[in-house]
Chains A and B, each alone.
Chain A
Amino acid sequence: MRTNYDVIIIGSGIVGSLTARYLSAYDINILVVEKESDVGMNTSSANSAIIHSGYDPAPNTLKAAMNSLGNRLWHTLAPELGIAFKESGSYVVAIGAGELPVLRGLYERGIANSIPGLKIINKAEFLTREPLINPDVSGALWAPTAAVIDPFGAVLAAAENAVVNGAEYLFETEFTGFISGGDKITGIKTTRGDFSCKWVVNSAGIHSGEIAKKAGTRKDFIITPRKGSYLVFDPVKLSINNVLFPVPTDKGKGTLVSTTTHGNVMIGPNNEPCENMDDSATTRAGVEEVLKGAKKLVPSIDQKNVIAMYAGIRASGNAGRDFVIDIPVEIKGLVNLCGIESPGFASAPAIALKVVELLKSAGFELKEKPGWIPVRKPAPHLHTLSLKERAELTAKNPAYGRIVCRCEEITEGEIIDAMRSPVPARTYDGIKRRTWLGTGRCQGSFDMPRVIQIMAREMGIPETEVTKKGGGSEIVFRKTKEVPAR
């Protein structure tokens, strides 16, 4: 493969992958390096999955500008890239008379940020919209432009679209240092060798601070990772009509109650310190805090119906609680995208377009590529189709008839699609994230042995080399009757 690119992007999260996608419209060579085994494995796939409307960031910050533009962009980008996206709107719900004045403050901040459609609604009306809400509700702030997104699906869509348009991705490839000549970065070192380039985009999420520092930039910038836990519920046991936020505190937007694009109620996050940069372990205290927070809004939430739990890490920086999106003055050839915490996902398309703009204004020649394909058609999800459509697809491809995951009804055909897509799944978790396999109430205990077989066959490897999430996470390690000699 080539070792010489125009732009190298470090990190394949939503910011890195959308940057690759927008840059793929130009006649340049793009490489995305990712230390994990798949796109968007950290913050981008473990977050609240909300495209915030933009009332929350302080006016005149980058966060405010990126959020409101990003929100507008998502409403057309999501259908263009075939991303599961629900124009749900959101509520901030005041519980008790004491919280009611906070709604007014948020409303006014939203007006300052030019957020359309905000409205404060009264208790009686809100009770009809969300019957399960805490009866002490005193009012709610309605933000109609907020939306719910499939976060991993969005990263994947951006990455696939970038790849279809010529960008390259390298996984399990860790950035180890910059190569520079004089006052300019000329490439990067990685665990898979050196690559030269004209520009580096630092979109490394929680590690973006360390990388900025390695380039001799942003010396005072520190990311203090904070984790947030999420719980996902059995859709048969709990359903909620709306996206519900509590009133925010100085610690953040608080624990929300929402319904994912897949139809599961999801609650979270809390806000707790990490033991290290990669600590995304859930804790008993954290899980209890999330339950308590969510029960403040919906008292009937019952932990018995939880089917999955996980934590994500926020890339919280110390730059006045704002995003860092700039070309540093200390060295040429670098764009820093640091401290992209909430509302990072909502802001991501605006940040990616800002990168294009920054590169142009720095004199980098970006010539539009003829034949750029902006649209992506996602692989079919059979359980979302009508019985007639399923029958038609199955008639064309019998693998769509063999259901491998009983709870989510995911077929062998969908697994094969995931393994043959432009950014192919190469791990069990990669298939899970792409197809929803194993995400139901049995959490993969039925499908896993079958999926291991399919993966081994498709990849042409023995079952013992099939992994959950990349090298070192093998699932089975030898055949039975091969007892090692003592």
Chain B
Amino acid sequence: MKKIYDVVVIGAGPAGLSAAIEAKKSGAGDVLIIERNNEPGGILLQCIHNGFGSVIFKKDLPGPAYAWNFIEQARSLNVEMVFDTMVVDITGGRKIYASNSVEGFIELDAKAIVLAMGCRERTRAQIMAPGDRPAGVFTAGMVQRLVNIEGYMPGKNFVILGSGDIGMIMARRLTLEGAKVIKIIELLPYLTGLRRNYVQCLQDFGIPLELSTTIKRITGKKRVEAVETVGVDETLTPIAGTERVIACDSLILSVGLVPENELSRKAGVVLDPLTLGPVVDETMATNVPGIFAAGNVVTIYDLVDYVSMAGATAGISAAKFAAGAPVSPPAFTLTPGDGVRTVMPQKITGLSGPDASVLVELRASREFAGRVSVNILEDENIVYSHVEKYARPAEMITLKINWNETAKKLSNNKSGLKVNIAKI
């Protein structure tokens, strides 16, 4: 390893691999990826189901195959990768401290950094699931790793809390491995994962889904023996008398993902309280000069293709910064308006490239059953509009905006823009 790199990427998942590849292609000389796992690919490696690559490759690939395309490219471009290595600190001055069992304690400097640490799963405590603390309570991603990477079955009879995608995919996977998935319960009155996963993973395997239900108590001294479920009303308050005890030996929690930003925080990167990821502009620049971010560390995506695209943008931007290109300060802010829960990027320079193409990723704050328009507003004035067949919190909406066109409609010289979703 060298002491100074042009671009250092933290994380060799889809965002990080793309960032490193595009940084190299954009002329960055020394590009290093630091990865805490023992091989590149990130969480894609344990996603052995298909459904990846529909946008970029127009193909339906399993996770490892999707990752392989990028791993090969990174290798052929001589991107340096170091594995089993954990970054423990990043300073605002772009000094990186890491640790592994080969080089020991590592200290290096980066001209530009791309944060691509991904996300982690919400846990039992965050949903306040009370009861005993036996073995057999797992997060869905942990079960996915145990089964698909380590090759072990962590239980025989499962109840799954949360209708997120990983939970549904693991319901199918565990069933195929000979386990019994008794049911999936969901606190909210609607499915929180993708509809196609509901059909392919639950319906096709006869696994029941029970909405508006949560866990009241986990029972078992040593290993889970049962879970007690309870129905909830519109305010998500448990309804007395609806309790039911289900005998099982495992409870899987698929209750959401949280961007992992402990390192970002140490580097002084400002986080968005809604996405829980860094505030970025469309070049994926954070508030700290020379520190960029992409992927699930910024906001939780549904499709890996868009993660790769964001990674590519971050890589190009990082290479430019490392080469000494001037920094364009953001001219506009984007904030969620009615019907919108999160929006990313939160800032726009409006200066990126000749076509000034801007990808905006947003999530609805509630269910819209019929057609909706997704609008960007300057005060009450709609400067951009896009029609969707419906809007659901579970499905990210991606807007591809030609910013040059949109900017022409800006009249009031305002820098603060809102995004809303309106019924048509």
Contact = CB atoms under 8 A, between A and B. Distances in A.
B135 A480 contact: no
Interface string A173-207: 00000000000000000000000000000000000
A475 B217 contact: no
A484 B177 CA distance: 10
Interface stretch (B102-110, B189-197, B313-321): B102-110
Interface stretch (B68-76, B138-146, B356-364, B408-416): B138-146
Nearest to B216: A284
B1 interface: no
B380 interface: no
Contacts of B392: none
A472 B146 contact: no
Interface string A46-86: 00000000000000000000000000000000000000000
B49 interface: no
B242 interface: no
Nearest to A229: B130
B152 interface: yes
A251 interface: no
B132 interface: yes
Interface in A452-486: 452-453, 463-464, 467-484
Interface string B116-129: 00001101111010
A407 B125 CA distance: 15
B105 A483 contact: no
Nearest to A442: B120
A308 B121 contact: no
A307 interface: yes
Given A282-B130, A309-B125, A395 B104 contact: yes
A445 B121 contact: yes
B101 interface: yes
A300 interface: no
Contact of A309 (B36, B128, B221): B128
A263 interface: no
A467 B105 CA distance: 32
A449 B146 contact: yes
B77 to A, nearest CB: 28
A453 B146 CA distance: 11
Contacts of B93: none
B132 A281 contact: yes
Interface stretch (A107-115, A218-226, A362-370, A397-405): A397-405
A7 B235 CA distance: 59
Given A307-B125, A468-B135, A473 B222 contact: yes
A409 B97 CA distance: 13
B27 interface: no
B115 to A, nearest CB: 14
Interface string A257-292: 000000000000000000000101111101100000
Interface stretch (B153-161, B200-208, B342-350): B153-161
Nearest to B261: A236
Contacts of B128: 284, 287, 303, 306, 309
A286 B121 contact: no
B100 interface: yes
Q: How many A residues touch the partner, as a band? A: 35 or more
Nearest to B220: A473
Contacts of A467: 135
A26 interface: no
Given A309-B130, A403-B88, A472-B222, A445 B139 contact: yes
Contacts of B162: none
Nearest to A285: B130
Contacts of A282: 130-131
B238 A402 contact: no
A376 interface: no
A475 B125 contact: no
Given A236-B262, A282-B131, A403-B36, A470 B222 contact: yes
Interface string B208-247: 0000000011110111000000000000001000000000
Given A473-B223, A480-B153, A387 B132 contact: no
B105 A449 contact: no
B371 interface: no
A41 to B, nearest CB: 11
Contact of A479 (B97, B153, B219): B153
Contact of B152 (A412, A464, A469, A473): A464
B331 interface: no
Contacts of A306: 125-126, 128
B153 A476 contact: yes
Interface of A: 231-232, 236, 278, 280-284, 286-287, 303-304, 306-310, 387, 390-391, 394-395, 398-403, 406-407, 409, 411-412, 428, 441-443, 445-446, 448-449, 452-453, 463-464, 467-484
Given A281-B131, A390-B105, A473-B135, 10 more contacts: A278-B221, A286-B130, A391-B104, A391-B105, A394-B101, A403-B88, A403-B99, A476-B153, A479-B151, A479-B152
14 contacts: A236-B262, A281-B131, A283-B131, A287-B130, A401-B102, A407-B262, A441-B123, A452-B152, A463-B152, A473-B135, A473-B223, A474-B135, A475-B154, A483-B177
